[in-house]
Amino acid sequence: MALVNKLKIENFDKEVLREYDIRGIVGDNINENTAYTIGRTFGYTVLNRLKSNIIATGYDGRLTSPDLHQALCKGLKDSGAKVINIGMGPTPMTYFAHYHLKADAVVMVTGSHNPSEYNGFKMVLNKHSFYAHDILSLQKLIDQKELESMEGEIIHKDIKENYVDRLLKNINLNKKIKIAWDVGNGAMGAVIKEVIKNLNNSENILINDKVDGNFPNHHPDPTVPKNMEQLISIVKEKNCDVGLAFDGDGDRLGVVDNLGTLIWADQYMLLLCSEIANLYKNPKIIMDVKCSKVFFDEAKKLGCDPIMSKTGHSPIKEKMKELESPLSGEMSGHVCYADDFFGYDDAMYVALRLLRILCSQENSLSELINVYPKTFSTPETRFDVDETKKFLIIDEIKQRIQKSEVKIIDIDGIRVENDEGWFLMRASNTQNQLTCRAESTTQQGLKSLIGIIENQLSLSGVNYKFTI
């Protein structure tokens, strides 16, 4: 994709302005003019809110990212910004630039965990997530025609060494550990060799570490079991203590135990909580509405104060600031530390904290996880519905279920708890989909919950059957 000769401000396609970021298919509803327009509008916003606009930028390893990033930087420069281009790397490195370079804001060009044809933009302003109404405000600036052209500058700065040094600060592994890493051909490949080279007491096996925007080995989303099959095989074959996987831009962590079993975020979060509970008195731990009831029950036993939040890394990070929480997470693998870190989602830092915990224990990862109660659950199940009806369907179901003797939590969709367990039904903020998940302490209980979900969907005109 060659950069167009003359970039211009143009209206956003309404499909790309998502709840947490700007994202779409390159060549369809995302192009260089989109990137340029983001630069002009976001640069204007930063200057008007802060009276200063030093903005750090980076991009991931997708084939379309360099050209989109170039157009973004041009737009920021034309808004009068001093742009600090840190180059290609994972999203958390760009977040790090916010603090390390004392920037007013950052923009990351990334398609995150989406397929290769996608790309997008994640923004942070004055150390706060830029999302929801903030993103919608960019189109309003275009409508108001107030975007004055100004002359800024673009400089280049390599901070990879600084980033790696910060990741490894206070990370000491006090016994030998064998680790398999699946980089997924994503942007974490830009720094991972430097990390493991300086990680003491570790034997490391790297797979898919070459950055490749085609993602030739598997889709870069570690929350999908199929994408973890290669890592599971390596862990078993090489007798590793743990397997760790990243998504396309390095802000989601997938975990495999020593037996080759997938360990979901609400499971390994309990290990992270056990360490935090020893550092703070009754720390507030935030976890999203999709996670297991086991997490909330066991976190309380550890001495934590677990708080259920709506899904999404952006609102969770803001909730952390509000409650001064040292740790938060969500089922998608976004985990944020604010005790000895900056409060944003960095999958490599979380991996290192997990390794430190494992090296402080005599038991294996599988043994540590197996002490928690066993449940039967569906995977997070997504299916397409009419975009215009997705929220209406959830509202209809809520109205019907309210007539039953059940507990309903409606902070994000509806989470319904009864004697059998619980289930969640919510409309996606980013796609024309509904998301469902159910969990019970028995197989029969799970079947009962699934029956309720399928019946409620049917009453709202949606025919969907679970396969478990």
The Cα-based distances of 202 to 246, 307, 407 in angstroms read: 18, 34, 47
Token pair for 422: 């619980």
**Torsional sign, CA 360, 362, 364, 367:** negative
Name the active-site residue from 65, 79, 112, 325: 112
Residues 75 and 7 sit within 8 Å (Cβ to Cβ): yes
The residues, any chain, with a CB within 8 Å of residue 165's CB and separated by 6 or more, are none
129, 318 contact by CB (below 8 A): yes
Q: Minimal CA–CA distance to 133: which of 388, 315, 287? A: 315
Biggest CA pair distance of the chain: 66
Map tokens 């993602």 to a residue. 215
Contacts of 109 (CB under 8 A, 6+ apart): 35, 57, 58, 59, 60, 65, 68, 69, 72, 119, 120, 121
112 is catalytic: yes
The angle formed by the CA atoms of residues 429, 109 and 180, to the nearest 5 degrees, is 90
Q: Determine the Cα–Cα distance for residues 363 and 204; give it in Å rounded to an integer.
A: 20
Considering only CA atoms, which of 347, 325, 351, 329 is closest in space to residue 338?
325
Interior CA angle at 274 toward 270 and 280, to 5°?
125
* CA-based end-to-end distance of the chain: 42
CA–CA distance, 372 with 291 (Å, rounded to integer): 14
Kindly compute the dihedral angle of the four CA atoms of residues 445, 329, 60, 189, in this order, to the nearest 10 degrees: -90
Distances (CA, A) of 332 to 41, 190, 254, 468: 30, 23, 9, 20
Q: State how far the alpha carbon of 144 is from the alpha carbons of 11, 40, 50, 137, 141, in Å.
A: 12, 13, 20, 11, 5
Active site residues: 112
